[in-house]
Structure 1
């Protein structure tokens, strides 16, 4: 195994996930505000699941997306 190649590959994957996830969240928030589903002041619980079948890895990460500073859940 080449440690440098592994590290580069992981970083590229995480960058792609981060950029695309941010875009998807921004579009979903804009759509929900436009449709009146949310007001745009909420704090929304969020969960990300990372799966790599070949490693039998399934890791879940919980957090929140705040739409305003100090927003309530």
Structure 2
């Protein structure tokens, strides 16, 4: 696989993760399943048959 094809494959995956995650967060906020002024979030990236375990944490300000 070329580096360009590899890069495009990663970008495609990350785009899907970003779009679907945003929809789920918006749905959660719309349905009122949270309280407070911020939503604490955590994303964990793992890959089968590897030791990859990358965690990103953050807060999203609510309307």
TM-score, normalising length from structure 2? 0.86
Displacement over 3 Å in runs of 4+: none
Count of residues paired in the alignment: 63
Name the structure with the higher helix share. Answer: 1
Larger radius of gyration: 1
TM-score, normalising length from structure 1? 0.75
RMSD: 1.6
Gaps of 5+ in 1: 69-73
Partner SS, residue 46 of structure 1: strand
Tell me, in whole angstroms, the C-alpha distance in 2 between the residues paired with 1:8 and 1:46. 27
